[in-house]
Amino acid sequence: MTDATPPLADDLKALELIVRRLESEDLDLDTALALFEEGVQRLRRSREQLQAAELKVVQVLEEADGELRTGPLES
Amino acid sequence: MTEPLADEVWTVGQLAAHVGETIADTYGALWVRGEVAEFKAWASGHWYFKLREGEAQLNCVMFKWANQRQRAPEVGQEVFAFVEPGLYAPRSEFKLTVKRLLATADLGAAAREKERVKHALQRDGLFELDRKRPLPALARRVAVVTSANGAALQDIITVARRRWPLGELLVVPSLVQGEGAPAALLAALARVERLEGLDACIIGRGGGAREDLAAFDDEQVCRAVARCPVPVVSAVGHETDTSFCDLVADVRAATPSQAAELVFPDVAEVRDAVRQLGVRLRSALVRRTGVATERAERAGDRLEAAMRRRLAERRARLAPAGARLAGGLRQRVDRTRRLTDALRTRLGSATQACVGRDWQRHDDARTGLETAIRRRLARRLAEADALGAALHALSPLQVLDRGFGLARDADGRVLRRRADFTPSLPFTLRVADGDVAARVEPA
């Protein structure tokens, strides 16, 4: 997961809002279509994020100069 | 001096109750340190004594149910008393109800220190429930402060891997027991503060002897936990152990495994929620386009009905006029019998032609309107159909999977007709697994 990807939580929150608007508000077709398109995009991105994932485990160490460095976990 | 007004006068009971409440609200329960004086154990089992310091002294009562398990203090002995200050109205007396009593001399240095820390943390409100922060719904980056080779870390990794493979664990290793442990935990927590994009922090260790957990009762460690910029889950020792760290943290977990369960959502549940959202999204749109189509149809129906009504009105207006015209002609014919048949015939047919033209015009107008309405309606319906089709095409799992493609120009407009494909136009063809860049052959 790169930092460029909007967090899953944001996508899901936005998706929930879109669905609620589509379900409850009296929208014209163009708006409804635009919302649906955005919803589909977010849905696809959420699915992708939920599929291709493997837990990342790293160790945080502090260098002599005080910088934090992450590396593989040694146990 | 004014006279007392009846409704401004307090009764003794009201005042006593109010003072009592004020004292209770102000102080609650607290620890007080002093010397025991004038101790009396009554036959009832209750203890009455004073706590004294220099010239100040406060009346105390320690009821039977609170003092059962301990030896009576000696007069002159210095004690810590956990008390609830209050007013005992029958004797007009400010009194401390003692809940716990500890002789300072009886306490070991460690226990005294623990009492002191507890008191200090309590005084600063660090155990208060209203400062506890909720955990994020979908944690991504989570720091773990624990021993790098303890069972606790392995438990946390195992649970996180199973529940939430999207997560990232940043292990910040620390000593968790022994003399150097508090300093190591402090350093680790300082590193946690510097980590970016963190959603939560787990701090803890597996079970051990009570002394092994002492670092998690350290005042500075607890204050650092309270200061942590992200919500902290504390899991120290077994379920039966409670450290100050547990009390200061935003969430207390019984074990390290449970801490990971509290922090990380279950991926299966989230996938299910996403699936549900997809279903709702699709059906909401289907319903929405359905509503739009229906509305277009209704508008067409209304328009048509309005036109019919108008035509009928006109017809109704024209009918009497036609009758009057015919009647007038007849009268005139009667009066002027001298007019020739030919003239009568010509006049009759001319009138008929005139009225007929008028009718024809109205009929034409009506037909034209109806046709226009039908055309518009058909266009609207076709538009709705096209939108519906485009939507289905957009749904990645449906039509595209069956081998259809969706062509769009650079602005994302769907290219539906041959005319849309102008020579050399670059466009994107969306197929089941992605987009294909394409271009219309040059003319």
Q: Residue B366's pLDDT is what?
A: 61
Would you call B138 helix, strand, or coil by DSSP?
Answer: coil
* Residue B335 reports pLDDT greater than 60: no
Rounded to a whole number, what is the distance in Å from the CA of B387 to chain A's nearest CA? 8
Mean pLDDT (whole number) for B154-172: 93
Q: Which residues of B touch A9 (CB under 8 A)?
A: 136-138
Q: Which of B137, B160, B166 sits opposite A1 (nearest CB)?
A: B166
* Residues in chain A closer than 8 A to B143 (CB atoms): 60
User: Between chains, do B391 and A73 touch, taking CB under 8 Å as contact?
Assistant: no
Q: Which whole number is the average pLDDT over B150-159?
A: 93
* Sheet order of strands, B426-431 included: B406-408, B426-431, B434-439
Q: Identify from B153, B199, B270, B277 which residue to disrupt to test chain A contact, counting A C-beta atoms within 10 A and taking the largest count.
A: B277
Helix (H) or strand (E) holding A72: strand A68-72
The CA-based angle B79-B83-B87, given to 5 degrees, is: 130
Chain B residue numbers with beta carbons less than 8 Å from the beta carbon of A8 are 138, 140, 166, 270
Name every residue whose Cβ is closer than 8 Å to that of residue B83 and which is 6 or more positions away in sequence. Answer: B29, B30, B31, B32, B60, B96, B97, B98, B99
pLDDT surpassing 60 at residue B309: yes
Is residue B339 pLDDT above 90, yes or no? Answer: no
Task: Name which residue leads in pLDDT, B351 or B146.
Answer: B146
Nearest to B171 among A36, A53, A57 (CB): A57
Q: Which residue of B has its CA nearest to A74?
A: B148
Tell me the pLDDT tens digit for each residue of B87-143: 998 888 999 999 989 888 766 667 778 889 999 999 999 999 999 999 988 888 999
Contact criterion met (CB below 8 Å) for B186 and B220? yes
- The yes-or-no verdict on residue B407 having pLDDT over 50 is yes
The answer on pLDDT for B380 being more than 80 is no
Residue B385, SS3 per DSSP: helix
- What mean pLDDT comes out for the span B239-251? 89
ipTM attached to this prediction: 0.81
**Type of residue numbered B216:** F
Chain-chain contact of B153 with A23 (C-beta, under 8 angstroms): no
pLDDT band of residue B191 (cuts 50, 70, 90) is very high
- Answer whether B274 touches A (CB < 8 Å): yes
Cα distances (Å, whole numbers) of residue B382 to A74, B248, B292, B438: 65, 64, 12, 27
Query: Mutating which of B138, B387, B406 best tests the A interface, going by the most A Cβ atoms within 10 A?
Result: B138
Give the mean model confidence (pLDDT) for residues B39-45: 94
What's the mean pLDDT when you consider all of chain B? 83
Give phi and psi for A57, each to the nearest 5.
-125, 120
Please say whether the dihedral angle defined by the alpha carbons of residues B14, B17, B19 and B22, taken in this order, is positive or negative.
negative
What single letter denotes the amino acid at residue B102? L
The reply to whether A14 touches chain B by the CB within 8 Å rule is no
Q: Who's near A4: CB < 8 A, 6+ residues apart?
A: none
Confidence of residue B402 (pLDDT cuts 50, 70, 90): low
C-alpha closest to that of B145 among B197, B85, B221: B221
Q: If contacts are CB pairs under 8 Å, which of residues 192-221 in chain B contact chain A?
A: 194-195, 197
CA distance B415 to B429: 10
Share of chain B above pLDDT 90, in %: 43
Q: What is the secondary structure of B141-188 as a DSSP string?
A: EEEEEE-TTSHHHHHHHHHHHHH-TT-EEEEEE---SSTTHHHHHHHH
CA A50 to CA A57: how far, in whole Å? Answer: 18
Which residue from A minimizes the CA distance to B139?
Answer: A9
| A47, A53, A75 ranked by CB distance to B166: nearest | A53
pLDDT band for position A2 (cuts 50, 70, 90):
very low
User: Touching check for B432 and chain A: CB below 8 Å?
Assistant: no
In angstroms, the Cα distances linking B325 to B152, B319, B331 are: 107, 10, 10
Distances (CA, A) of B306 to A4, B32, B142, B366, B416: 57, 89, 67, 11, 35
pLDDT band for B294, please (50, 70, 90 cuts). confident
Residue A64 CA to residue A59 CA, distance in Å, equals: 16
Q: What is the pLDDT of residue B324?
A: 66
